Chain A
């Protein structure tokens, strides 16, 4: 009985818990509830992924209204994997959150913080699980609104968080508007909002200018949400000034979910052929992805605030994901889906390490990193391993992503692109290397005595770092799931 309703519970549990959190008022109680809910969400996601892999696509009719009239939750390998990423990161982040939130946000706002956090989680899971285009928009907005609040909460540490949140609000709203216009146009010509139904009807319409315009609006809207270069301007400040926990969580999940939504529209709704014919893949995504990889990595090298540096690196990494999409073949798409997961592990771990630095030193500027290799050895060791993974050194997850990405480029016959991919990895060597050098080869500033971060922060961080290595050494699970998901997407059937 309860197993049948897992898809609904995935969303309903965090959604209901959010207002309860607000009512609890006490920060520690709210934290406890959020923790339990996150772990429950992870358990549900694991069960769903298992069910999808063994039993095929799950279709769940919300309120027993049959699609295409009612809202359908439709889960295949691709979104089950995304659900796992989101809930998994959340489950690891929350034990870490307690100490970090306590040090960065004033106590009266803690229950508000966890309420917003749960709403954000609900939205992200919702975007991933839903099979309805308008429902996806709703969840996207829940996520975005909650994220604006979460980012603004960084004002306690740095007032610039407020302008960052405001910029994000403006850019995010523009993106949402574009998206909803796109959905509206599709509804106009097809009369349906169900994704599976949309796919069928768009195929029947043939050459239709309205569909093309809708496609353009959707791509731009989602491009803003996923920070596709050059629509990434909101991202660096939002990541840099948000509270550490929020940086970890949104860096690891929110842009990933937007990438997933893009994949869903490109491949499931419009179909590979349409996306290729509209020239989006080759002439829009490919150059933008490469430009983003180079520009953002180069900018990252010159950042003083290391959180900001990682934020620019995220823009570059999103370039990798979009690049995988642009190849239009299964290997490239596998690389993208793999990198959704792998990059969540990498950036999650790295932002957690910076969170530990902020917790002890109050800031994550490069000057503050001096001598930390001796004073916070576990934190900095985690940063080094995470950094190696970001560069793509073998036996880390970053390498696996890069392997498939380059393979995808070669399969598409674009070997110069393969060379460009590795060239950007070298830029990552530069920006990670400079932090490592400062941390290990320079003496600590006079008079600063800091110790290792508390265990409640170290353990979640190392869970992610160990996962970086584990899934880098034995990638058979992730590659097979990503491969299945990619084939399902390119095959066209949701």
Chain B
């Protein structure tokens, strides 16, 4: 099954970047327990990195909470999309919510059939969850040994994965236009707005293009 294989390889590749999170969190004076708590309970890479970065730059807990929550906002929008595909209730819905992140949604929507979409969601979501948590712990414990994560290519693992999940979707013209505009928009405004805004504000582009 190539859907399962691809989903689990995303899980491993993205999960391995957890080593960067664990290492950065400890380097920024968070404890190993706090790093692991964030990966288990918050479980959203961008929010986790921003929370640690804001506090280590001297920001207040409130500003860390606002930035982290703002960056987590897109998971709610992914949830809206995934709920239509998964159609779950009760405990399974609560479980699916926790693993609703960039990767699980991205790999799911890249599939053709709704059965493959569901398989991709669960395998990618749990795959990332499993490896992300193991590697967070390893990174936190071995922070000094890894050194510079860029030297191991870990800083491009995640954008390369998103290119791969977007690529097959962008054959459709409207989707291609939406993707390219969002890319340009985000880079144009990033210097002038707080972290997270360049990403979440592209929802406006989706609304305008999807209107008619």
User: Do A and B associate with each other?
Assistant: no
Q: Which residues of A contact B (CB under 8 A)?
A: none
